[in-house]
């Protein structure tokens, strides 16, 4: 069974195929963490609590309760009663006191998995998942917490979330409510995170753990370019195949805190949830608050197993789109080709050439609406600029259809320009603090999506555009963070709810969108990759990875992204050189190879390409069609990383039956007098033979000896190798 309760021992075992998570109940009704690691069968593990040692167990040594609380491995630590480490929960009552102590009351074990109202979350059938509900109460506050653990056996995943319910007669104010906590002994762990900024998101970072608190976080109103809602503990020197990994990933698109704390006793506390900065939630009598979900996994086989677990969970139990297992059209986006300088003729010239090359969709980016000739006006005024597109979107979509192209469009629904008809009519709709200037970013403000009337208006505008033409794809952008945090629609003691209510508004919009337009291919974006998180995947099967389309910079960005997300989620395009973000010149072949490790498309003016370049693009399109199912469905395996000092970046995908594989290898600057090297593969059927370029190799030879990577004759050279298992 996935969840077992030993009543005599008062121990819960949460079992996946390869792991066990153990929780115990003390006589004082504390819930404590016992164990997380390789699968165990025996529930007789209470000795791990060291209950026989003073000053443990307040019932025996009450005078040292403070010491007990400050050392005990709490399953869900609270504020104000003596545990001075990072808490997961802080609540204030109407008298202003901040303290709670919720003791275990009862539990329920059910097959399946509950939805979390208004929030994205993993889903599963009764056969695929079981859930443990631990109910805890504070009788003084008349508050109930429910800790929920859903066990995905096949994926080696446990998800966690929390609900808080006020069953008293006075309101309570939640000031912190994280979704998960994990207390473990330090075993010379490092902590791992993804960091960056605009145009260089999600670079992998591993750091020693010092005594004290170290974290990654965002309080920008989105998960952010700078940090990512992921954190892991890894044994020192862990590789793709060796070492222990404890990972947490947050299914949320707003402010987050992911933290490691090491105390003087070499205990580590790992926490994750909504960032408490600027957060307060008024919990009325009878009210309930639900946290977003944390995805948690343990790997005893290095980063590769962690990656596999997360990829499988997201493909099977998070992404809902009809495009999950469906071919996605190769698109061309006009942004880097034209920016705001276009008319209908220019768009059709690009489209005609694109259709000849085999591209399948034309996407019209920013500048098609209002008076949008640069980025300082018209957001919120979603009416077609008839000077640029005289026939409107319907006529344009029909002309594209006649060329054999589908039509997609860009919108930024969450924003409003100061220079717009909408702002002149509704200045109070922008997020703002009375008496203060509203902070501008990219010459725009943010609409207050905590207010239902604004959510409804925004949705009507999106739906109006989508109904006006044959539109198959929507790129949903968000080009700035939230500042001057105030809502004209919230009373004083609810202003601390704005950040979270804003995210709930975004989720409501996208939920309504995919329900009314189930065949729409939705791609989320936020100034590139500022909102690339599991929460967004619940609504869109792909997310624009970064505004930096340089193939070499993309290696680091896509490596960090692919560590957590399937390749089919990663928006990746081929762009022009010199690259618009970094000025680098990279072979067109390499740009194509890197973009194929994603959703694949183009972002350049194909009318300006040479015949040789057009021929290369046509060749890339043929290549991608041959391998697209393998790339979309296959298991991703990282082989080499230039970011970690290897001489190349290399990765591969292998289908579930190990019949086919595709291998990428990309090198950086050319090395003088280079003799090449051998690239060792992984994940093949060791008893089989594989064909590569009409030659036959044994799998054990390919994995232990490798394939030949010949010397490069120029910078940034790449190769793709296709392997097919020999039929018997």
The answer to whether the CB of 334 falls within 8 A of the CB of 350 is yes
Please, are residues 15 and 1 in contact by the beta-carbon 8 Å criterion? Answer: yes
Sign of CA dihedral 37, 42, 43, 49: negative
Cα gap 385→553, rounded to integer Å: 35
The DSSP H or E segment spanning 36 is strand 31-38
Positions marked catalytic: 477, 547
**In sequence order, which residues have a C-beta less than 8 Å from that of residue 107 and are 6 or more positions away?**
5, 12, 132, 133, 134, 135
CA distance 270 to 259: 6
Cβ 208 vs Cβ 234: under 8 Å? no
CA dihedral (452, 453, 459, 462) positive or negative: negative
Q: Which helix (H) or strand (E) holds 195?
A: strand 189-195
Q: Are 374 and 341 in contact (CB under 8 A)?
A: no
Measured CA to CA, the distance from residue 316 to residue 566 in angstroms comes to 11
Nearest to 535 by CA among 563, 569, 559: 569
For residue 194, give both structure tokens. 């993804």
Chain position carrying tokens 């099967």:
541
Q: What is the DSSP letter of 671?
A: P
Question: Which of 30, 76, 26 lies closest to 51, judged by CA?
Answer: 26
- What is the sign of the dihedral through the CA atoms of 640, 642, 647 and 648? positive
Cα distances from 276 to residues 175, 201, 436, 483, in angstroms, run: 6, 24, 24, 16
d(CA 130, CA 108): 11
Phi, psi dihedral angles at 560 (to 5 degrees) = -65, -40
Count the Cβ atoms, other than its own, within 10 Å of residue 441. Answer: 14
Structure tokens at 182: 């994990």
Sole residue written with tokens 């030659």: 695
Taking a C-beta distance cutoff of 8 angstroms, is the pair 147, 160 a contact? yes
Q: Yes or no: say if 110 and 215 are a contact pair by the CB < 8 Å rule.
A: no
Cα–Cα dist 341/322, whole Å: 34
Q: Which of 261, 294, 295, 257 is nearest to 279 (CA)?
A: 257
Query: Which uninterrupted H or E stretch holds 396?
Result: helix 392-402
- Give the helix, strand, coil percentages of the chain, each rounded to 5: 25, 30, 45
Query: If phi over 0 gives left and psi between -120 and 50 gives alpha, with beta otherwise, what is residue 250?
Result: beta
Distance CA 497, CA 450 (A): 9
What b-and-e string marks burial along 591-629, b requiring 16 or more CB atoms within 10 Å of the CB? bbbbbbbbbbbbbbbbeebeeeeeebbeebbebbeebbe
């Amino acid at each position: 069974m996935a969840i077992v309760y030993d009543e005599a021992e008062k121990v819960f075992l949460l079992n996946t195929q390869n792991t066990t998570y153990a929780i115990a109940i003390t006589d004082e009704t504390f819930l404590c963490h016992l164990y997380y690691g390789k699968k165990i069968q025996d529930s007789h593990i209470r000795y791990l609590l060291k209950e026989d040692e003073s000053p443990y167990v307040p019932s025996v040594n009450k005078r040292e309760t403070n010491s007990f609380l400050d050392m005990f491995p709490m399953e869900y630590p609270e504020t104000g009663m003596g545990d001075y480490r990072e808490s997961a929960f802080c609540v204030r009552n109407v008298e202003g006191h901040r303290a709670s102590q919720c003791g275990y009351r009862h539990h329920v074990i059910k097959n399946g998995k509950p939805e979390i109202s208004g929030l994205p979350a993993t889903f599963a059938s009764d056969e695929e998942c079981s859930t443990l509900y631990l109910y805890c109460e504070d009788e003084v506050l008349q508050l109930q917490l429910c800790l929920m653990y859903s066990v995905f056996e096949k994926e080696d995943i446990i998800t966690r979330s929390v609900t808080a319910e006020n069953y008293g007669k006075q309101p309570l104010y939640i000031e912190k409510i994280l979704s998960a906590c994990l207390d473990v002994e330090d075993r010379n762990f490092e902590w791992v995170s993804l960091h960056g900024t605009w145009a260089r998101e999600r670079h992998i970072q591993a750091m020693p753990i010092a005594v004290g608190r170290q974290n990654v976080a965002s309080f920008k109103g989105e998960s952010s370019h700078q940090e990512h809602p992921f954190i892991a503990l890894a044994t020192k020197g862990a590789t793709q195949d060796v070492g222990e990994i404890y990972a947490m990933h947050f299914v949320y698109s707003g402010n987050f805190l992911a933290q490691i704390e090491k105390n003087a006793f070499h205990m580590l506390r790992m926490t994750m949830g909504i960032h408490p900065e600027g957060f307060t939630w008024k919990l009325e009598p009878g009210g309930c608050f639900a946290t977003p979900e944390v995805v948690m996994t343990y790997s005893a086989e290095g980063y590769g197993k962690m990656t596999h677990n997360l990829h499988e969970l997201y493909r099977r139990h998070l992404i809902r789109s009809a495009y999950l297992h469906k071919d996605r059209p190769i698109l061309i986006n006009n942004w880097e080709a034209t920016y705001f300088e276009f008319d209908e003729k220019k768009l059709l010239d690009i489209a005609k050439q694109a259709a000849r090359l085999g591209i399948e969709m034309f996407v019209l980016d920013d500048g098609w609406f209002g008076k949008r000739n640069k980025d300082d006006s018209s957001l919120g005024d979603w009416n077609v600029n008839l000077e640029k597109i005289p026939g409107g979107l319907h006529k344009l979509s029909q002309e594209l259809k006649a060329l054999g192209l589908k039509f997609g469009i860009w919108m930024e629904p969450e924003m409003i320009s100061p220079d717009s008809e909408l702002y002149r009519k509704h200045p109070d709709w922008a997020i703002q603090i009375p008496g203060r200037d509203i902070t501008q970013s990219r010459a725009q403000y943010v609409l207050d999506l905590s207010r239902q009337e604004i959510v409804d208006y925004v949705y009507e505008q999106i739906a109006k555009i989508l109904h006006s033409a044959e539109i198959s794809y929507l790129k949903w952008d968000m080009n700035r963070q939230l500042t001057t945090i105030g809502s004209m629609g919230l009373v004083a003691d609810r202003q601390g709810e704005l950040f979270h209510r804003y995210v709930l508004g975004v989720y409501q919009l996208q939920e309504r969108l995919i329900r009314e337009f189930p065949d729409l291919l939705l791609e989320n974006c936020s100034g590139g990759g500022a909102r690339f998180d599991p929460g967004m995947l619940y609504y869109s099967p792909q997310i624009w990875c970064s505004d930096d389309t340089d193939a070499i910079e993309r290696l680091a960005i896509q490596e960090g992204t692919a560590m957590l997300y399937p390749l089919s989620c990663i928006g990746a395009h081929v762009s022009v050189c010199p690259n618009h973000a970094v000025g680098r010149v990279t072979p067109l072949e390499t740009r194509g190879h890197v973009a194929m490790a994603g959703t694949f498309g183009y972002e350049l003016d194909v009318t300006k390409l040479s015949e040789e370049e057009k021929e290369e693009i046509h060749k890339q399109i043929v290549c991608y069609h041959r391998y697209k199912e393998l790339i979309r469905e296959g298991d991703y395996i990282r082989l080499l990383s230039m970011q970690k000092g290897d001489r190349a970046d290399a990765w591969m995908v292998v289908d579930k039956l190990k019949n086919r594989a595709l291998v990428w290898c990309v090198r950086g600057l050319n090395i003088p007098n280079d003799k090449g090297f051998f690239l060792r593969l992984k994940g093949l059927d060791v008893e089989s033979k594989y064909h590569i370029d009409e030659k036959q190799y044994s799998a054990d030879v390919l994995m232990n000896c490798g394939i030949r990577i010949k010397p490069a004759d120029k910078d940034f050279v790449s190769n793709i190798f296709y392997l097919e298992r020999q039929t018997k």
